[in-house]
Amino acid sequence: MERFFRLEENGTTIGREVVGGLTTFMTMAYIIILNPAILESAGIPRGPSTTATILSAAFGTLVMGLYANRPFAIAPYMGENAFVAFTVVKVLGYSWQTAIGAVFISGVLFTLLTLLRVRAWLVRGIPLSLKYSFGIGIGLWLSFIGLGKMGVVIPGTATPVHIGDLTQGTTLLGLLCFGLMAISLIFKFTGGLLLSILFTTLIAMLTGWVPPPETWISAPPSLAPIFLKLDIAGALTWGFFSVILTMFMMDFLDTMGTLIGVSLRAGMLDEEGHLPRIERPMLADSMATVAGALMGTSTTGTYLESASGVEAGARTGLSAVVVAIMFLISLFFAPVFTAVPDYAYGPALVVVGLLMFSPLKEMNFDDYTEFIPAFAVIVLISFTYNLGIGMTAGFILYPLFKAVTGRIREIHSALWILCVLSLLFYLFYPYTP
């Protein structure tokens, strides 16, 4: 392990890597609950989806550790799963099989672009203000979804939404869960999200609001109902172009932001602020998306929670291998994860959204050629209930405002390509009333 992972060269030890891996797993294990719960809204059965979530996370993280030798964990992305469930299926009316087919296509495209080194070039073309706004906008949207799951925000009659019944027991339990998560954040308690979800679920079972699982430990649910059920042909239509483009952009941006942000914290960036051999973790990311789609789950990618493992001392792929092993062990506790109610995992969506607001302090509020496109991204993602609408609006407005103010030299050539793709997005977007 010393020679393979180059532990001494990276200033770490086996003990630090194990602790780092366990820390990363504890901070991101909530995805085992949240991803199947969200995809269930699209019609994907929760049991098989739990197995697909775990296996895709284990596969991608293992590739990251053994091939890229980076302390990053991979799992189905928050945001991308919501896009599949609430936009592609609920709003646009497509089947989940077609949506997963689009995930597979975007994963194949990412693999090819990574091998051709195009992804690394595109990373350099996106301005910081847009990078910040993407994370903030996704965070606001996830918080809105989470509040709905808790019953705090419900559909309105005279207004689009209004406050729910805060005297209802399940809503109060959801608020209690959020309070526990908030306290765990304040005191930096590792694994607070997962433990709060499990504690809230236990209370719901004791009160009779949720039936307890028939067994706590069992063989993993079969993948058969969703394995290789993706509809690739259905996704290869002009009407589905905007969906594929959105998935492509979302994965590209999430992976880029996570890799750069966590690598900066770990001291892995070079003097120019670039991550050496960035193609390797990107390839692990895209391979995991392809494998995950075949298993029946949404887009997978590098997790920001990997930063917790880095804080605990992780510096090499050995910690990623530890995370992958922990995911495989969790396969046998699927009955526990599938029993979690909406109001227990909804608060975690709110907290994840809260954490994604941190780049707000980096925004430039004085330069309107930077701030207006960023503002459009943030509000449109949430108010249109569509991530793609917000992100592509930013790619169009940013170069437009720079050009009309005579600052065209500030626009990277890669951004023009993204601008054209965004215009195509609106041209082929399947508008519905």
Confidence band of 211 (pLDDT split at 50, 70, 90) = confident
Q: Among residues of the chain, what percentage have pLDDT more than 90?
A: 27
pLDDT for residue 245: 77
CB 335 within 8 A of CB 214: yes
pLDDT for residue 117: 82
Higher pLDDT, 93 or 334: 93
Who's near 206: CB < 8 A, 6+ residues apart?
Answer: none
pLDDT for residue 20: 82
Residue type, 369: T
Task: Give the Cα separation of 83 and 322 in Å (integer).
Answer: 30
- Which has the minimum average pLDDT: 83-97, 161-175, 261-275? 261-275
pLDDT for residue 312: 67
Burial zone of 271 (CB within 10 Å; 0-12 exposed, 13-18 middle, 19+ buried): exposed
Q: Helix (H, G, I), strand (E, B), or coil: what is residue 160?
A: coil
Ranges assigned E (strand) in 148-271: 153-155, 161-163
Higher pLDDT, 417 or 308: 417
Confidence band of 429 (pLDDT split at 50, 70, 90) = low
Higher pLDDT, 319 or 260: 319
What would the mean pLDDT of 240-262 be, rounded to a whole number?
Answer: 74
pLDDT for residue 346: 83
pLDDT for residue 314: 81
Q: What pLDDT, in 10s, does the model give residues 271-324?
A: 655 677 778 888 898 899 999 999 999 889 888 777 767 766 788 889 999 999
Buried b (16+ CB within 10 A) or exposed e, 77-111: bbbbbbbbbbbbbeebebebbbbbbbbbbbbebbb
Contacts 24+ apart (CB under 8 A), 134-137: 134/253, 134/257, 134/377, 134/390, 134/391, 134/394, 135/257, 135/356, 135/359, 136/356, 136/357, 136/359, 136/360, 136/378, 137/377, 137/378, 137/379, 137/380, 137/381, 137/382, 137/387, 137/390, 137/391
Residue type, 120: A
pLDDT for residue 264: 63
Widest distance between CA atoms in the chain? 67
- Within 10 Å of residue 18's Cβ, how many Cβ atoms? 17
Total residues belonging to the chain: 433
Q: What is the overall mean pLDDT for the chain?
A: 84
- pLDDT reading at 432 higher than 60: no
Q: What pLDDT, in 10s, does the model give residues 119-136?
A: 778 777 778 788 778 778
- pLDDT reading at 270 higher than 70: no
Instruction: Specify which of 37-51, 375-389, 414-428 reaches the highest per-range mean pLDDT.
Output: 37-51
pLDDT for residue 266: 65
- pLDDT reading at 98 higher than 60: yes
What would the mean pLDDT of 386-395 be, rounded to a whole number?
Answer: 81
Residue type, 382: S
Q: What pLDDT, in 10s, does the model give residues 26-67?
A: 767 878 888 998 899 888 998 899 999 999 999 999 999 999
Q: What pLDDT, in 10s, does the model give residues 161-193?
A: 899 899 999 999 999 999 998 998 898 876 677
